[in-house]
Structure 1
Amino acid sequence: MSQVEVEQKSYQMPPKDGFTVAHFLAVADVERSLRFYEKVFGGRILSRGDKSGAPGYLQIANTWLIVNPWGGPTPDKPTVTIVPPDPNKVSSFMNIRVADIKECYELWRSRGAEFITEPKDKYGETRCYIRDPDGYIIEVGQSKPEFTYG
């Protein structure tokens, strides 16, 4: 198995004890987003959602994504509206660390990922960014061997 093809472990969602962290993405089209993350990153779709607005769930490596259409306030968040992202203004993004950025760049590009640039050196790493179908950015980075965190 190549370094890119990470074995999908069976983490529990929902957890049977403790807790699991998932990243929530507000999307225009749940099925389109599920297909993107499945195709590009080898994600495992667990639920496709439904027409009444239930979200889709998928697992990518050791993380979970919840994809759900944007929308207005709900009883549990009465003053909050979930809006589509502005592709040029970002307050958070997914960060993927890889063992071989050149291999990932070529593989994920061949699977339809649209990179903003090719991998570039930055501080103690080489990194680049992908845009998903809704404009969210995903950082892909490889640490340099001589760089240590902390």
Structure 2
Amino acid sequence: MDEVRVEQSSFQMPPHEGFTVTHFLTVSDLDRSVQFYEKVFGGKVVSRGDKEGAPPYIKIANTWLILNVGGGPTPDKPTVTLRPPPDPDEVSSFMNIRVADIHACYRLWRSRGATFLTEPIEKYGETRCYIRDPDGYIIEIGQSKPGFQYG
């Protein structure tokens, strides 16, 4: 089986200075989603949450992922309802993972249960493909072409 090297940094949550970007996903089944991100991407489960509603936190490479089951408005977002995507083929955002070897990642993550929409395809200045997670979110996996200049 291929090995994919993931750089682990001294990245801390919460940050002691500056800020950290964390991706929040509303999911229908916390355990299923935690298992997916832990197994497919080798994520480290920092917290599985608790019965009082604290969400699971997963460290994936140099970022954090928060999973929650969503729900209705709260005092700090009085008009917002969170829910998993109702139609996995209609999206407005997605996570983008940049890799050093897309073909190795494709083989490894597929062997770990990732469902890819296609094999890696060359597009513009990169080779890319997409994974669908258990709730239908898509995740772009991309490898930039050597020497390609953006912009």
CA shift, 1:70, in A, is 1.6
The 5 A counterparts of 1:92-103 are 92-103=93-104
Root-mean-square deviation over aligned CA pairs: 1.3
CA shift, 1:49, in A, is 0.9
Q: How far, CA to CA, are the matches of 1:47 and 1:13 in structure 2?
A: 11
Partner of 2:78: 78
- The alignment's TM-score, normalised by the length of structure 1, stands at 0.94
CA shift, 1:31, in A, is 1.7
CA shift, 1:7, in A, is 3.2
Q: Provide structure 2 residue ranges, at least 5 long, that are not aligned to the other structure.
A: none
Q: How far, CA to CA, are the matches of 2:134 and 2:73 in structure 1?
A: 24
What percent of counterpart residues are identical?
74
Secondary structure of the 2:105 match is: helix
Q: How far, CA to CA, are the matches of 1:133 and 1:15 in structure 2?
A: 29
Partner of 1:54: 54
Kindly provide the CA deviation profile for residues 51-82 of structure 1, in whole angstroms up to 9, marking residues without a partner as x: 33211101111111000112100111111000
Q: How far, CA to CA, are the matches of 1:9 and 1:30 in structure 2?
A: 26
Q: How far, CA to CA, are the matches of 1:52 and 1:23 in structure 2?
A: 21
CA shift, 1:95, in A, is 0.3
- The alignment's TM-score, normalised by the length of structure 2, stands at 0.93
Q: Provide structure 1 residue ranges, at least 5 long, that are not aligned to the other structure.
A: none
